[in-house]
Amino acid sequence: MAIKFETNIPVNLVFPYGDFREISSRYGQQFAYSVDLAGQRDKLFATPGLHHKLQEAGLRAGSVFTITKIEIEGNRKDWRIEGEEAPAPVAVVQQEKAQPNGKAGSNGHT
């Protein structure tokens, strides 16, 4: 099943992967995201406008956003994205292996 948005009803989504797949359908160009809604895996088919706003918001694996479809002037629709992007990935630092002489380093020389 796919996420459906009602006007002015916020939806809290977790983006476990942060990536998307661009697709063409009878509805035109869309962007498919895997999302979690209330602990259940689902799909979000984003319009180009929503996709652009998600990318501007810094979407990446682990991002949690509240998305609201809003009505703007002229009875048109737009999107409000609230929340925070996921923390930047933490670099894994390898500790240097101790050399037989008890000193750290790649060749044992200090």
Which residues are bridge partners to 66 per DSSP?
12, 82
Contact in structure between 78 and 49 (CB atoms under 8 Å): yes
In the chain, % helix, strand, coil (3-state, to 5) comes to: 10, 45, 45
Task: Name the strand (E) or helix (H) holding 50.
Answer: helix 48-56
Give the whole-angstrom CA distance, residue 7 versus residue 93. 46
pLDDT digits (tens, 9 = 90+) for 1-21: 799 999 999 999 999 999 999
Distance of CA 52 to the CA centre of its chain: 12
What residue segments make up the domains of the chain, in order of their start?
11-84
Q: What is the pLDDT of residue 75?
A: 87
Q: What residue ranges of the chain have pLDDT lower than 70?
A: 84-110
Is the pTM higher than 0.85? The answer reads no
